[in-house]
A and B are shown apart, each in its own frame.
Chain A
Amino acid sequence: MDGITNTKNTNELNPFKTSLTNRLIWLVIAAYIFYSVSALGLTLDRILLGFGESERLLSRMFPPDFSRVSLLVSGVAESLQIAIISSFFGIVISLFIGLLAARNMMPIFITGPVRAFIALCRSFHPVIIAIIFVKAVGFGALAGILTLIVASIGFIAKLFAEAIEEISFNPVEAIKATGASFFSVIIYAVMPQVFTRFIGFASYQLDSNLRNSTMVGIVGAGGLGGTLFSAFQRFDYDFVAAILLTIIAIILVGEMLSNIVRRIF
């Protein structure tokens, strides 16, 4: 009883002491917040003012205005076209690039440059790539398609390469022992092992291209994003709400479809 009530004793034996590094991390975070808020000149009343405006914004957004159906439908159609075409080409190109980047299939002097190329595709945000392509091929869907092809390569070519690197080599050796050519080895020994994972990556990429195709339009690369941006600039907030709801609906349907596809394969 004495040992339990003696607080000094329990403090010394506290099994749940907070570690010094943990405390240091929290201290650094607090100091950082204080520093950055003062460096950026953020003030509380500006933030509160902004939240006060939210009521007005929301009241102008609701009810959503679905009256301009034709504009909405043509934007959705263009976004879907961009997503589908870019996913197709992105996946097909990634198949080859992924194979070239797999360290167990190719010598280092091929994988090195190919991996650097993939990293380059990955390191820029799609919007920045879109700006460059808008300059190169003009406004419209083509710029969006090219942008998303690059973005797809950056993402799934890397995953393809990693999947190929993880395969078991026994089937490869068995097929090679029959005197099969390089392409037969790829088709009969490598592909069957990675096909299911490829389907998973591909459906994920279609999903993510669908999301991004609604965004590249903001810089003029076609699709629903352009409609959204011009609605924002005209302060048509009820139309904005309609577009946003449409985008969310498309993405939910896309996720559902890719789940179905994954279940089939």
Chain B
Amino acid sequence: MTTLSIDSEWTRFTLKERLSRFSVYLIIVMSLIWSWQSVEVIQEFLYDAPEQLMDMFDRMTPLDYAYYPTTIHAALIETLHIATLGTLITLIFAVPLALLNANNITPNKGLNWISQFFLVSTRSINSLVWALLFIALFGPGVIAGIMAIAIRSIGFVGKLLSEALAEVNMGTIEALKATGAPWGSILVKGYWPQVMPAFYSIVLFRWDINVRESAVLGLVGAGGIGVVLNDAQNLFQWQKVAMVLVSIFAVVIVAEVVAIQIRKRLI
């Protein structure tokens, strides 16, 4: 027995591991070759790109600062409203789904799967696509944007919140149950204090993402700064486009800083 183990040469991976690793590499290389050969790319356009980019920057400068107070400012405020209201409305859907998805709160596999389905499917469709769908319902405008942001965020907030709920310390919960507390009290006094920091940081994180996302929703007509961007771009007013882009950049940075600061204070 001992001589056998000494005689056999040590290898880091078993044959099965090596084979499966090799097949992953093979599949990656094959799919890369397939894509590379069949993708429709016009080579000349790629060589032309630096020149075109320079041309675009030429047209973009100098920035059209006068455009900010007349149009951009109001649209930016609208964008922030879309992001914030969307994040708040998400909570209406995400919190119940998270409660249903956490196995220690809802010990029912069927309900867990149903909520899991909603969490995954809302997350897989992009916010622009949600915006297109809601424009079909509400018409172009702010409501479609808010609903798109709200529905799109359900998956993210719900998944992270249910993970936080599943990780709570069950000792407190059992103590509350032993006193005969109703489930409402257990939720509010047992679970909530434990997940509160996670909850606030998830919501702030999502709000930060939503500010970025709501900036582009207007490209399909769902309100906010994107509408202004789309108009300027369709009219080839590149100086205005550049001004919009700079404003979006500034707002995104400010939102990130605000989110970080609030998180520091709260947690």
Let me know if A141 and B136 touch, CB within 8 A: no
Q: When chains A and B are docked, how far (Å) is the Cα of A128 from the Cα of B216?
A: 7
The answer to whether A123 and B253 touch (CB under 8 A), given A78-B39, A136-B52, A215-B126, is yes
Chain A residues near B31 (CB-CB < 8 A)? 80, 84
Q: Does B49 contact A (CB under 8 A)?
A: yes
Chain A residue at minimum C-beta to C-beta distance from B40: A141
Q: When chains A and B are docked, how far (Å) is the Cα of A51 from the Cα of B147?
A: 11
Q: Does B124 contact A (CB under 8 A)?
A: yes
Q: When chains A and B are docked, how far (Å) is the Cα of A212 from the Cα of B124?
A: 10
Q: Does A214 contact B (CB under 8 A)?
A: yes
Let me know if A264 and B143 touch, CB within 8 A: no
Let me know if A137 and B35 touch, CB within 8 A: no
Q: When chains A and B are docked, how far (Å) is the Cα of A240 from the Cα of B137?
A: 14
Q: Does A200 contact B (CB under 8 A)?
A: no
Let me know if A127 and B128 touch, CB within 8 A: yes
Q: When chains A and B are docked, how far (Å) is the Cα of A32 from the Cα of B56?
A: 40
Let me know if A123 and B249 touch, CB within 8 A: yes
Chain A residues near B139 (CB-CB < 8 A)? 50
Chain A residues near B36 (CB-CB < 8 A)? 85
Q: Does B7 contact A (CB under 8 A)?
A: no
Q: Does B186 contact A (CB under 8 A)?
A: no
Let me know if A229 and B88 touch, CB within 8 A: no
Chain B residue at minimum C-beta to C-beta distance from A36: B81
Please tell me which one of the listed residues A29, A78, A138 contacts residue B45 in the complex, with CB atoms under 8 A apart: A138
Chain B residues near A218 (CB-CB < 8 A)? 128, 219-220
B170 to chain A, nearest CB (A): 19
Please tell me which one of the listed residues A36, A81, A128, A264 contacts residue B39 in the complex, with CB atoms under 8 A apart: A81
Please tell me which one of the listed residues B77, B88, B132 contacts residue A29 in the complex, with CB atoms under 8 A apart: B88
Let me know if B143 and A42 touch, CB within 8 A: yes
Chain B residues near A136 (CB-CB < 8 A)? 49, 52-53, 56
Chain A residue at minimum C-beta to C-beta distance from B85: A36
Q: Does A23 contact B (CB under 8 A)?
A: no
Q: Does A54 contact B (CB under 8 A)?
A: yes
Q: When chains A and B are docked, how far (Å) is the Cα of A228 from the Cα of B129?
A: 8
Q: When chains A and B are docked, how far (Å) is the Cα of A42 from the Cα of B120?
A: 29
Chain A residue at minimum C-beta to C-beta distance from B51: A136
Let me know if B126 and A214 touch, CB within 8 A: yes
Chain A residues near B129 (CB-CB < 8 A)? 214-215, 228, 244, 247
Chain B residues near A137 (CB-CB < 8 A)? 45-46, 48-49, 52
Let me know if B56 and A132 touch, CB within 8 A: yes
Q: When chains A and B are docked, how far (Å) is the Cα of A218 from the Cα of B230?
A: 12
A118 to chain B, nearest CB (A): 14
Q: When chains A and B are docked, how far (Å) is the Cα of A128 from the Cα of B245?
A: 8
Let me know if A16 and B39 touch, CB within 8 A: no
Chain B residue at minimum C-beta to C-beta distance from A250: B124
Q: Does A77 contact B (CB under 8 A)?
A: yes
Q: Does A33 contact B (CB under 8 A)?
A: yes
A191 to chain B, nearest CB (A): 14
Please tell me which one of the listed residues B17, B38, B136, B143 contacts residue A77 in the complex, with CB atoms under 8 A apart: B38
Of listed B34, B35, B133, residue having the most chain A CB within 10 A: B35
Of listed A128, A140, A264, residue having the most chain B CB within 10 A: A128
Contact with B along A111-155 (1 / 0, CB 8 A): 000000000000111011001100111101110010000000000
Please tell me which one of the listed residues A47, A53, A82, A212 contacts residue B126 in the complex, with CB atoms under 8 A apart: A212
Please tell me which one of the listed residues B120, B132, B143 contacts residue A46 in the complex, with CB atoms under 8 A apart: B143
Q: List 8 A-B contacts (CB under 8 A).
A: A57-B136, A124-B248, A142-B45, A145-B39, A214-B126, A218-B128, A219-B219, A252-B124
Top 3 nearest A-B pairs by Cβ distance? A50-B138, A81-B35, A81-B39
Having A39-B77, A141-B39, A145-B39, one finds 18 other A-B pairs with CB under 8 Å, namely A50-B134, A80-B31, A81-B35, A128-B216, A128-B248, A131-B233, A136-B52, A136-B56, A137-B46, A142-B41, A211-B124, A214-B129, A229-B220, A237-B136, A244-B129, A247-B125, A247-B129, A248-B125
